[in-house]
Structure 1
Amino acid sequence: MAKTPVSDIDKKVGKRIQQCRKERGLTVVQLSEKIELAAQTISRYERGENKINLEHLTLIAIELQTPISWFLIDEEQSYTVKISKKVVEKKETYIYSNPEDLERRLLQRWQNLTIEQKRALIILIDTM
């Protein structure tokens, strides 16, 4: 059976999985045990070697307490769509529509910042 090629989106999602897992202080093995998925599978997703299985991504998102949309859409994401023999470049801006998602993400990131980074962020916010 031929292996389906990995897309740029699969690679970006894999990097996001890795980032979020590390933010939670989990190893690949710990995450794999929690969601009952082979560590090798998660590792391949993170390295961008395998296409992301939607069921697996859902399990990962639930375990990492992160909205699935965060893994799929950057705030400014461009991607390539192949339609027949044409390649169309599409840029899309994503604005979180759910304030709870924004707050949860901010709190997740805040916990991992150094005191200097927290101060810098407050200064930035104060200038807005």
Structure 2
Amino acid sequence: MSTEIAEDTRAEPVFPYHRWHPIEYEAVFRLRELEYTVTRTDGSISGVNLIAMKGGHFRFVCISRRKTRAGTIAEVAATYFEELDELRQHISPVVSVDLWIWCRQDRWRYFAVFPGGIQEIGGDDACRL
């Protein structure tokens, strides 16, 4: 009997979902407090973790957790350049895109993503979601 394992590298993973992190639960809770219906993505929408819906509007949310502070808006834009570029592809009249960053020092910081840049829309100390 052989213990050798053959792996098909072209096969899709059986369970493509990653395990929930506590900050994802917290993000869902915060969106539901704002009366959004929230769905978690399976990773097929590049960079998007959550899709929030209210009325005819959709809000795609990318969640990032860090061990250190995110820094200034310019530093966030530079650090997340590739992610923001992917997220911008989803912006439309009915879809807005957010980047939510969590770290121990700052807790939550929220950024609205626009075709030409990002804008901080709040944090734990002054949430304007």
Query: What TM-score do you get using the length of structure 1 for normalisation?
Result: 0.24
Larger relative helix fraction: 1
Identify, as 1 or 2, the structure richer in strand: 2
Greater RCO structure (CA 8 Å; 6+ sep): 1
What TM-score does the superposition give when structure 2 sets the normalisation length? Answer: 0.24
